[in-house]
Amino acid sequence: MTLFEGANGSGKTSILNAIIWCITGHLIRSQRTPESGMTEFPCEVTRADGNVTVHPMSSVTPMPNAGSELPEDGKPIPADTWVELIFADREGTELPPIRRHQTRNSRGKLQESEPNLDALGVDPIAWRIATTMPAMLPFLAVGSTSQLGTAVARLTGLADLVDLAKHAEKAAERITKRSTKEIEAEIDQIGDRYAQHVADLASVISENPDIGFAGDVPEINAEDAGQRLADIAIHFAQAKANGLATAQSVLGAGFDPQQKAARDDLERSIRPAIEQLAQVGNLPSIARLSRLSLEAAQVAAVDGWFEQVHAEAAKLAELAESPDRAKRAQLYALVSTWIHQHDHAADGRCPVCTADLRGACDPVTGLAVADHLVEAETSRELIAQTVAQWASRWHGQLLQQLPEAIIGEARADLPSLPAELLVTGMTAELYATEGFSGSLSALAEDSNMLVAEMAANLPPFEEPSTRSLPASVAGHAGTLLTLMKRVDRAIAFAKWRTAHTAELLGFILAIRKGDSCGQNAERAIGRRLKTLLKIVESVAPLNTAGTCIVRMEAARSERAKKFDRLVLCGRAAAGLQALMPLGTLAQAQVDSLRSILQTRCDHWRNHMYQNATTYAPDLTGTVMDAKGILGLQVGRDGVNAPAQHISNASALRGALLGFFLAFREHVLKQRGGLLTLVLDDPQELLDNDNRERLARGLSGLAANAQLLITTHDRKFARCLVAERRDRAEHLSVHPVNSVHPTVFVAPAQEEVDRKRVIFLESDDNHCAAQDYASDLRVFLEARLGDLFDSIAHPAYTTATKALTLIPLVDRLRGLVTGGSGELFRHPLVKQFVDDSAFAEGAEARRVLNESHHDKASITYMDVKRLDPIFARLRTNVEKVHQQFRLHRWREPLEETNIDTTNVVALRPFIAPTISVPICPDIAAFMGSSPSGGSQDVSEETLEGAWFEEKSLYFVRGDSLGFAIPSGSVAIVEAEPYPGRDHNLVIARNKGKTFARRLARSPGSIGISLSAQMPDPRNSRPTLTFDESKIRLYRIVGAVFTNMAPPAGGGEATPIDDVAELHTVQVAYRVKEDSAIPLALPGQIILGGAELTPGELDGWVGRLVAVTLEDGASIFKRVGSRLPGGLGHLRQFETIGGLGASMVVATEAVGSGDDVPLMISARRVIGVLYDSG
């Protein structure tokens, strides 16, 4: 049994929902039944500018933070939620994991990848029994269909049987009482229609006896009615073929009346063809000729324009023959244009130089300048243009001015003769129409010959004279000349059409109707069509008779199908009668199941619930039906009634729980399923006595089940744990806050006490000691984390990663020191943070830290010595937490105006992207294993995430001593803290920055900062500050760099990056004292690349880790080579004055040197003081 205890809203149900959603896709919801995880609802976001945006959001998507990146208005909140569960069978073998994942597609629509539950081989009912069904109990409507009742009915398929029986009864009734009668009525209606068609056929034959057939029309129900109707249809078809045979005299032998397609096409085409012939004027070519109609005035206007074109062309040609004169003419035209545009007075003076023009002659032409200007006034626009411009202007002008009747012809060529338009229309275009394109196309050959013969007799056409332009102009006016020729031809066609209107009408009439006096009268298309129309109309009675036969056959076929349906209905009714008794059988099975469940229902109900008095109505029976309706009966002394009308809410809940557990028990026995059972606050509605009884009942159930239970009731939780102390895991749930970004689950107080008892009773059991220390640490972290609630201390309500124990204590100490609220001024809180167990170097602190970083290193005696201290911490933190709960209870739930200026965070640097192993021994760190050495496998990894929320400071002086030499970079927590004695810190006061060691005595006032100068001759005075006047930032590591000092002053300067951090290749958690004062045991050394003996020259003065041939490892500063022939020997200097400098052979040269030999060397990049 796993019990999750927590306050309202702490996240207990969220934990269960993760399991339930993964299995079923549904979620437990308050005040309503479980809902689908695909449910969406509107999420409103108030932006910084005050605008409110609305976004669809799914039920399983966490509520976004207002400061996070949110989508545009109307766009959905992104979804990416998944849960994976692993189940085990009764033997403990893990089964394939199941996983549900919800995302959104590219269009923003929710989609889920569902788990493969079939792979686990569990009955589908079992999944709901274990998850959503218990959550339904508070909402189950007794006496109505419910999920539990439906599950009971579905258990043996009884609901399906009942559905089948009821459906069979209804279907049989519909068939016998409705369908059969409806079909019989339809058969009668079909018979009436058949009789009407027979009467219509008889009427046609009486009017046209020559189309009669032998015998009578068959009755609709005659066996050979179908064949007889087919024979009659053949008779009419043959008669029709015979009647249309005479059409061959018109259409020729190519028309075959025996072919139905040919007959149908002739009948379909004849009337459209006659109509088309009457409208030959609409044929394109004939309509084109008809449109060529011009009045005399229009022709005169066109002639005038053409004469003007020729006159101007002659002028241009004349100029073209004398280039010099042409240039002078263009010059005078430009001058005339300027005079015209500027309204210059005609005063006989030059408009340019104002000289008198009288007597002035042109030097080229010898003519008077004044005469040239007069001539230019009349033709300046023409002369100023090129020939191409002139032709283009006239082409456009003519297209705009030409009469509408011929403007289209200016863009296309006409045939050589007007008669060709008539011939094209009456031949190709006529026979391309719909009526003439089928069977009637046989008329084309002779009618085309007739058209050609008639066209040859039309009046002759007189070709218009060929128009031309001067050669010097024509080369640039080809388009204009073509237009003029087309217009001349169109006018000639129009004149011909106007002059011979009577002849043209006679031509059309002769083709259509024929000349009554001519020898070709019978060849006219119209006369032939009339002959064919008479032939087609002669077979019209046969068409009517054939239609009657078709309708009679359709009626006969439909009647036969209706009779077939009657037969099938009879068979179906007989089969359904056999299914109807199954309903009674199914209800009998339900009654049997009810009897089985009744006994166990009483058993479980009595284990979980007891009436307040013996007079109270007791559960007397259950009512079930195969459709999922579940009822409970209660009563006393033989008087029974439905429970939903009599029992109180708690008694009804107890009865439902008993029935549910009985049903679950039956399913597990019959079909197997999940031992897991999820119960969310099952104690609701029960009094204290019944809660204790429920706890005992659930404990009994846990003997054969895996129970996951949540509760906010501490007494109920303790009752549950007390009943199943040996197999119960009691966890406390802690809500999200500023130091817990997610729901935090920790051992409950009773769980920690149980682990302590196991530890005390298990002498020399290291595992028991380790479990106790680990659970205590997590318990302390959870309890302290709750204190950082926004109401208690709004100054710290910023998003951060989850903090561990010591940083939490540090933060709490800062709040206590600052006295920022009533809670943090309480003596119990101050007593807890001042506990000596949390002091730097305290044994309790070391063991609690190791329980997180290196749990396996803790021994039984480590915890045994600290047992009184651990017990004290457990007791005191619970007292502090109690004060926190009281504080929340009496504080008003509203925003508190607290000055937050005491919290000034530094700007974090961008964390490096690294992931390197933390080696458990120095041999693994060095990458070599000398004789007798070992390399343990690394189980820890240093990730770049460790550097998040950290800042960098370049240390200028020696104020931090040997720990962080001058020129190194300090790694600093970005958020300030209250400070702890002996910590290395960066301190900021009034614009000044100090890199010092903090000195803070218990009970002292103020904070002192001491400089740890390596040379006492250069000591600096210790500085003391009021706590409220200084900001302290803890140094948690150092990087040894050779970077150039940045601009700035003070003992330390902030920087954005340090290159050496990006070269880290490996790390080592120090266990021995060999690295002092570089690093203390438990701290981490950062290693770079390995160094060859030759590369050591470039590393002089910097730190290295060296492995010697004898297996020893040292941390030293690289010195210089020895001179002369001893160049293979190198001085390695001490770090910080501890240990001794030594000479090491970097290469093996001979065998006479009595000095240690270096096997390998690795760059030391830096050290991390706090890796937790």
pLDDT tens-digit profile of 63-93?
887 667 788 888 999 999 999 999 988 888 8
Task: Kindly give, in sequence order, each residue whose CB lies less than 8 Å from that of residue 1034, ignoring residues fewer than 6 positions away.
Answer: 810, 972, 973, 977, 979, 983, 984, 985, 1170
Confidence (pLDDT) at 901: 40
Is a pLDDT exceeding 50 seen at residue 364?
Answer: yes
- pLDDT score of 1153: 64
Per-residue model confidence as pLDDT tens digits over 711-751: 988 888 888 887 766 778 889 998 887 667 788 888 988 88
Q: Is 799 left (phi over 0), alpha (psi -120 to 50) or beta?
A: beta
Q: Cβ(834)–Cβ(978) under 8 Å? A: no
* Nearest partner of 309 among 425, 470, 486, 420, judged by Cα: 470
By DSSP bridging, strand 950-955 and strand 1103-1108 are: unpaired
The model's pLDDT over 490-529, given as tens digits with 9 standing for 90+, comes to 999 999 999 999 998 988 888 888 766 567 778 889 888 8
Please tell me which residue, 930 or 514, carries the higher pLDDT value: 514
pLDDT band with cut points at 50, 70 and 90 for residue 199: very high
Token output for 371: 């005469």
Query: Among 580-589, 864-873, 1005-1014, which is the least confidently predicted range?
Result: 580-589
Residue 145 confidence (pLDDT) above 50: yes
Cβ 186 vs Cβ 565: under 8 Å: no
Q: Name the more confident of 794 and 341.
A: 341
Q: Which of 686, 684, 722, 687 is CA-nearest to residue 702? A: 722
DSSP string, 368-420: BHHHHHHHHHHHHHHHTS-HHHHHHHHHHHHHHHS-HHHHTGGGS---SSHHH
Q: Which of 146-160, 865-879, 974-988 has the lowest mean pLDDT?
A: 146-160
Backbone angles phi, psi at 907, to 5 degrees: -80, 115
pLDDT at 1028: 73
Any bridge partners for residue 624, and if so which?
630
Residues 6+ apart with CB under 8 A from 166: 583
Gap between the Cα atoms of 189 and 181, Å rounded: 13
Instruction: Please tell me the predicted confidence (pLDDT) of residue 518.
Output: 63
3-state secondary structure (DSSP) of residue 1157: strand
Q: Is the pLDDT reported for residue 1060 higher than 80?
A: yes
Rounded to whole angstroms, how far apart are CA atoms 676 and 1135? Answer: 61
Which pLDDT score is estimated for 927?
67
Reduced to 3 states, what is the DSSP secondary structure of residue 569? helix
User: How would you classify residue 1113: left for phi > 0, otherwise alpha for psi between -120 and 50, otherwise beta?
Assistant: beta
- Of the candidates 106, 109, 127, the one whose C-alpha atom is nearest the C-alpha of residue 118 is 127
Least confident of 231-245, 257-271, 307-321, 764-778: 307-321
Percent with pLDDT over 70 in the chain: 84
Burial per residue of 248-265, b for 16 or more beta-carbon CB atoms within 10 angstroms, e otherwise: eebbeeebebeeeebbeb
The pLDDT value recorded for residue 741 is: 75
- Cα separation, 324 vs 322, whole angstroms: 6
Which of 122, 100, 124 minimizes the C-alpha distance to 112?
100
pLDDT, greater one: 228 or 977: 228
Q: Is 1086 helix (H, G, I), strand (E, B) or coil?
A: strand
DSSP string, 682-738: TTTT--HHHHHHHHHHHHHHGGGSEEEEEES-HHHHHHHHHHTTTT-EEEEEE---S
Mean pLDDT of 884-901: 50
CA distance 396 to 313: 16
Average pLDDT estimate for 1118-1125? 87
Check pLDDT > 70 for residue 576: yes
The mean pLDDT value for 460-489 works out to 90
More confident residue, 798 or 963: 963
Residue 1015 has pLDDT above 50, yes or no: yes
Mean pLDDT along residues 922-950: 69
Q: What is the pLDDT of residues 415-444, one digit of tens each?
A: 999 999 999 999 999 999 988 988 899 988
DSSP string, 52-92: EEEEEEETTSPPPPTTS--PPTTPPPP-EEEEEE--B-TT-
Enter the DSSP assignment of 427: I
Q: State how far the Cα of 306 lies from the Cα of 98, in Å rounded to an integer.
A: 94
Of 972, 981, 950, 949, nearest to 813 by C-alpha is 981
1042's CB contacts (< 8 A; 6+ apart) are: 967, 1102
Spatial distance between the Cα atoms of 233 and 553, rounded to a whole number of angstroms: 10
Scored b (16 or more CB within 10 A) or e, 936-975 reads eebeeebebebbebbbbbbbbbbbbbbbbbbbbbbbbbeb
CA distance 781 to 775: 10
Asked if the model's pLDDT at residue 929 lies above 50, the reply is no
**pLDDT for position 795:** 37
Rg of the chain in Å (alpha carbons): 55
Residue 572 has pLDDT above 80, yes or no: yes
Count of other CB atoms within 10 angstroms of residue 91 = 5
Inter-CA distances, 1109 with 82, 838, 1143, 1147, Å: 53, 42, 14, 11
136 token code pair: 């339904």
DSSP 356: B
Phi, psi of 89 (to 5 degrees): -85, -175
For the segment 1002-1006, the average pLDDT, to the nearest whole number, is 66
Rounded Cα gap, residues 1129 and 1142, in angstroms: 10
Please state whether the peptide bond connecting residue 1021 to the residue before it is cis, i.e. omega within 30 degrees of 0: no
pLDDT at residue 421, rounded to an integer: 92
d(CA 1059, CA 1047): 17
Over range 366-391, report the average pLDDT: 70
Q: Give the C-alpha separation, 302 to 304, whole Å.
A: 5
Of 285-294, 883-892, 1070-1079, minimum mean pLDDT range:
883-892
Rounded Cα–Cα distance for residues 196 and 200 (Å): 6
> Are residues 632 and 619 in contact, defined by beta-carbon separation less than 8 angstroms?
yes
325 pLDDT tier (thresholds 50, 70, 90):
low
pLDDT band at 380 (very low <50, low <70, confident <90, very high): low
Residue 262 has pLDDT above 80, yes or no: yes
- Spatial separation of the C-alpha atoms in residues 921 and 1068, rounded to whole Å: 7
In this prediction, residues 1041-1049 reach a mean pLDDT of: 89
The predicted structure's pLDDT at residue 722: 76
Burial 1079-1093 (b: 16+ CB within 10 A, else e): beebbbbbbbebbee
Instruction: pLDDT band for 892, please (50, 70, 90 cuts).
Output: very low
1138 band by pLDDT with thresholds 50, 70 and 90: low
For the residues 299-314, what does the mean pLDDT come to? 89
**Helices and strands, number each (H, E), in the chain:** 34, 32
In the chain, what is the straight-line distance between the N-terminal and C-terminal CA atoms, in Å?
Answer: 32
Question: What is residue 902's predicted lDDT score, i.e. its pLDDT?
Answer: 40
Q: Residue 931 has what pLDDT? A: 43
Across the chain, what does the average pLDDT equal? 83
Residue-level pLDDT at 67: 67
For the entire predicted model, the pTM comes to 0.47
> What is the three-class DSSP state of 1096?
helix
